[in-house]
Chains A and B, each alone.
Chain A
Amino acid sequence: MRDKRMVLFGFVRGAAAIVLALAVGAIFIFLSSDEPFTALRYLLIGPFVSFHGGVTAFNTQNFYQILAAMIPTIFTGLAVCVMFSANQFNLAAEGCVLVGGFVGSLIGIYANIATGWHPVICVLVSAVVCGLIMLIPSVLKVTLGASEMVTSLMLNFVLLYIVLHFLNYHFADRSKGATMTFPFLDSAKIPSLVSGTSKLTWGFVVALIISFLVWVFMYRTRWGYAIRMIGINESFSLYSGMNVGRMIILSSVIGGILSGMGGSLEVLGRYNTFVWRELPGYGWTGVTIAILAKNNPGAVPLAAFFLAYLNKGCQLMSTHSDVPSEMIDIIQAAIFLFFAAEQFLSGFRQKLVVKTTREELVRAESLDAIEGE
């Protein structure tokens, strides 16, 4: 009885956080916009519905674009999930996406591999490279106790400038006005899943499959179990005889592998050449997704969809009304705050517990009474 209510309560609490966050966004829209209702319409239902010519219809292209936008964020979301599960506040997914994209690009440009296997090898190599990169913050944490949050945050910028260095001085296509690499070989590109310009590639399918595999890993294998237990209570795990250090490193390496995959799938699927000149931001989105999904890999695609939908809505809103697209940041920040606040609605939770306990006591007593007779 109580458990059912608690599960329901979890959903209600999540929904309430989202509604409140949207309400906060709406307040800002009403404050800053001359046409708030148009803006809100585009924000909330714009991604699915086209309004052109007075006819409303389901907008397939927008829908594909939303799915396409989920590809990198599902991967970073999963990466952050795995690392957060081990209680590692590792933020280097951001830098790993960039490096993954860059390494994948280089192989996509310079390695001539039989069609079919080419993108696979690009993705695998970037996954391995990023997995190795994650050894830096995690080994420092395990051996020296250096805070993984600080080292991973700084590592992001180290990775950014290393990538920029190689891009500028070694791999730039000098014939172009802007700094970019040579174009990818056609064999390296991730094939499209649907026709049109949506960039929805097979990467999306891979992302869904990997989500399932990561869920299996976290909830159906001994390593995932150990990672979760360490995240809940490290002392307990140590006492139980788990190799805590090794598992922390493992979780971080998996985080790196997933981020690297996401980066290369995104770059090889969306672009013709490597164009990123700053951190792409998918790592941060991954943090929001992991929090929305409560570190459950199974819920990551849903959370990623929600954020991609919001993102698209904001984009449409800024094109069709006077509200700037930065609104997405405000809404995201609000969601983040409402979800992260542990005490959020805890008063209500307490009342719920009191109520259920009372009921149980009454029931127990009536049973006693019956037995007594």
Chain B
Amino acid sequence: MDAHEYVVRMENISKIYPNGIAANREVNFSVREGEIHALIGENGAGKSTLMKILFGMEQPTAGKIYLNDQRITLSSPLQAISLGIGMVHQHFMLVPSLTVAENIVLGMAPTTKSGLFIDYKEAVRLTREYSEMYNLFVEPDARVADIAVGMKQKVEILKALVRGARVLILDEPTAVLTTQETAELFQELKNLKDQGFTIIFISHKLKEIKELTDRITIMRAGRSVGVYETASITEQEISRLMVGRDVVLKMDKPEAVPGERVLCVEDLHYVNEWGKKMLDGVSFSVRQGEIVGIAGVEGNGQRELVDILFGLKLPDSGDAMVDGQSLVGLPQARIRTLGVSYVPEDRMTFGIAQTANIEENVISDRYRHKRFNRGPLFNMKSLHDESDRLIMDYAVLCKSRSQEVGMLSGGNIQKVVVAREFSSDPILIIADQPTRGIDVGATELIRNKLVELSRAGMAVLLVSADLNEVMELSDNLIVMYNGQIAGYFDDGQWDDLMMGEYMLGLKRQSDDEIRRACHA
């Protein structure tokens, strides 16, 4: 095979982060001109890092990059863009208060003759032109804050195209999309491919890869474990190569026996600072011994709901009660004493103190307890015992309890958070994206613990953007759309197509059906 057929070649790329994590180890990766190339691997396998290196956001510790057989070194995304490499990030890099057209020309805006003002009409014209040329329909005058996720993604793609990208990197583009939006995106990507663009598609969803891509590079634990023609490899083979064994998607969990209601949410309303209705009459309850999952495309009120339940936001009206006691307006310390524990979505900000050690992190909610204090002093022995026990129970991979938490891998950091939150004898656990971005082992451990705790009688509220996760773990499932509950399912009979319809707002149950979520 001749080397020159590759538009991008990355040779022996290694990347070691300042905290010691080896994200890439001597990875070889090459892409042919005009193909859709999948880069697949579990979370933390190093796909995103590899692509950040190709986009100039990270510098490799070792290795070479070739573009059309020219050796290049990339020190910034600006340089990558000028060489025709564009990237669409998992989390959109758009300015919400600006219009679509303004976002698209941001940083390269056409100016009026005087050179002082942005020629907005020209920006709109440019947006329309590209939008039509590549069949990516967007509304140039709409504010980005008001448009749907799917359209935001198109704006991101257009942004890259307008800047002259010939190679497009898409980092888990379907993670936030519904089934229908995903189908639309795929059509558009195939279109781009026909026009000669090269697309690198990062994902860990097997079905999508099979459907869309020509070739596939599989990564595991920072290494490339093989390159295949997509047509010549089965989903099972891919999954085996990805994780080194077949992915266990089915959870074995005993039947739930729901008891008393622990959390009662009654008619919550919340309007955000920009006047958008984020919660519009949400009522449900979570009972002892059950896992209630909340599914929904991000931005449909889940964030606000969780923030209210943990005292970060005040609802405009409505109430939320734990064990009959309202938690609205209570400080976090009081909410915790009611028996609520919380696995935060943003674990680095809320879940841990990075430069503190593991012990200091696992005791942060219970350090005042009599058990750990002797008069004014800490009882160091009982603190050590407690942290050692938690490190054991949750299999935190570390040198000792006095290791800095920030030095651990993402999965082990989350284990530290979960070890603390799950072990405080809560009556209600709110788990917000508990397994996002962590490795398979940690994910499995956390999921198993959630099931175990719920079967031991705790009430669990699970909010997750990972549809697979909510569908597998939940005993009962709530779908949120547009600040409301669009559907409540308690029969265990759900699949992703049906979820997609509710998540996108195509379907909605009757008020009576939704009211069942309250178990009143």
Q: Does B332 reach chain A (CB closer than 8 Å)?
A: yes
Q: Which listed residue, B18, B344, B350, B356, touches A232 by the CB 8 Å rule?
A: B356
Segment of B251-259, B288-296, B320-328, B371-379 engaged in the interface with chain A: B371-379
Knowing A220-B377, A353-B16, the reply to whether A236 touches B353 (Cβ < 8 A) is yes
Knowing A232-B356, A353-B18, A356-B20, the reply to whether A222 touches B378 (Cβ < 8 A) is yes
Q: Which listed residue, B17, B353, B368, B407, touches A229 by the CB 8 Å rule?
A: B353
CB of A143 to closest CB in B, whole Å: 15
| CB-contacts of A320-356 with B (<8 A) | 346, 349-350, 353-354, 356
Nearest residue, chain B, Cβ from A2: B20
Contacts of B363 in A (CB 8 A): 225
Q: Does B433 reach chain A (CB closer than 8 Å)?
A: no
Contacts of B352 in A (CB 8 A): 233, 236
Q: Does B342 reach chain A (CB closer than 8 Å)?
A: yes
Q: Does B494 reach chain A (CB closer than 8 Å)?
A: no
| CB-contacts of A234-255 with B (<8 A) | 235-243
Q: Does B493 reach chain A (CB closer than 8 Å)?
A: no
Nearest residue, chain B, Cβ from A236: B353
Q: Does B90 reach chain A (CB closer than 8 Å)?
A: no
Q: Does A373 reach chain B (CB closer than 8 Å)?
A: no
Contact with A along B1-43 (1 / 0, CB 8 A): 0000000000000001111111001000000000000000000
Q: Does A221 reach chain B (CB closer than 8 Å)?
A: yes
B25 touches A361 (CB 8 A): yes
Q: Which listed residue, B21, B372, B378, B399, touches A3 by the CB 8 Å rule?
A: B399
Knowing A228-B356, A236-B351, the reply to whether A241 touches B16 (Cβ < 8 A) is no
Q: Does A358 reach chain B (CB closer than 8 Å)?
A: yes
CB of A236 to closest CB in B, whole Å: 5
Q: Does A45 reach chain B (CB closer than 8 Å)?
A: no
A221 touches B377 (CB 8 A): yes
Q: Does B447 reach chain A (CB closer than 8 Å)?
A: no
> Once bound together, how far apart are the Cα atoms of A361 and B350, in whole Å?
31
CB of B412 to closest CB in A, whole Å: 15
> Once bound together, how far apart are the Cα atoms of A240 and B377, in whole Å?
20
> Once bound together, how far apart are the Cα atoms of A233 and B333, in whole Å?
16
Contacts of A361 in B (CB 8 A): 22, 25
B16 touches A357 (CB 8 A): yes
A229 touches B360 (CB 8 A): yes
B364 touches A242 (CB 8 A): yes
Knowing A240-B365, A361-B25, the reply to whether A233 touches B349 (Cβ < 8 A) is yes
Knowing A222-B373, A236-B351, A241-B332, the reply to whether A357 touches B18 (Cβ < 8 A) is no
Contacts of A350 in B (CB 8 A): 18
Contacts of B228 in A (CB 8 A): none
CB of B428 to closest CB in A, whole Å: 15
Contacts of A233 in B (CB 8 A): 349, 352-354, 356
Q: Does A226 reach chain B (CB closer than 8 Å)?
A: yes
> Once bound together, how far apart are the Cα atoms of A240 and B336, in whole Å?
8
> Once bound together, how far apart are the Cα atoms of A226 and B333, in whole Å?
13
Contacts of A232 in B (CB 8 A): 353-356
Q: Does B134 reach chain A (CB closer than 8 Å)?
A: no
Nearest residue, chain B, Cβ from A360: B20
Q: Does A15 reach chain B (CB closer than 8 Å)?
A: no
Q: Does B92 reach chain A (CB closer than 8 Å)?
A: no
> Once bound together, how far apart are the Cα atoms of A360 and B350, in whole Å?
30
Nearest residue, chain B, Cβ from A240: B364
> Once bound together, how far apart are the Cα atoms of A225 and B353, in whole Å?
12
> Once bound together, how far apart are the Cα atoms of A235 and B346, in whole Å?
11
Knowing A349-B18, A353-B19, the reply to whether A241 touches B365 (Cβ < 8 A) is yes
> Once bound together, how far apart are the Cα atoms of A354 and B21, in whole Å?
9
> Once bound together, how far apart are the Cα atoms of A241 and B343, in whole Å?
13
Contacts of A228 in B (CB 8 A): 356, 360
> Once bound together, how far apart are the Cα atoms of A238 and B355, in whole Å?
17
B378 touches A220 (CB 8 A): yes
B360 touches A3 (CB 8 A): no
Contact with B along A167-187 (1 / 0, CB 8 A): 000000000000000000000
Contacts of A242 in B (CB 8 A): 333, 364
Contact with B along A119-141 (1 / 0, CB 8 A): 00000000000000000000000
Known: A242-B333, A353-B16, A356-B20. 18 other contacts (CB 8 A): A2-B407, A221-B377, A222-B368, A226-B367, A228-B356, A229-B364, A232-B354, A233-B349, A233-B352, A233-B356, A239-B351, A241-B365, A353-B18, A354-B16, A357-B22, A358-B16, A360-B20, A361-B25
Where the two chains meet, the residues of B that have a C-beta atom closer than 8 Å to any C-beta of A are 16-22, 25, 61, 310, 331-333, 335-337, 342, 344, 349-356, 360, 363-365, 367-368, 372-373, 376-378, 380, 399, 403, 407
A-B contact pairs, 29 of them (CB 8 A): A3-B399, A220-B377, A221-B376, A221-B377, A222-B378, A225-B378, A226-B367, A229-B360, A233-B349, A233-B356, A235-B349, A235-B350, A236-B351, A236-B364, A239-B344, A240-B332, A240-B365, A241-B365, A243-B331, A243-B333, A346-B18, A353-B17, A353-B18, A353-B20, A357-B20, A358-B16, A358-B22, A360-B20, A361-B22
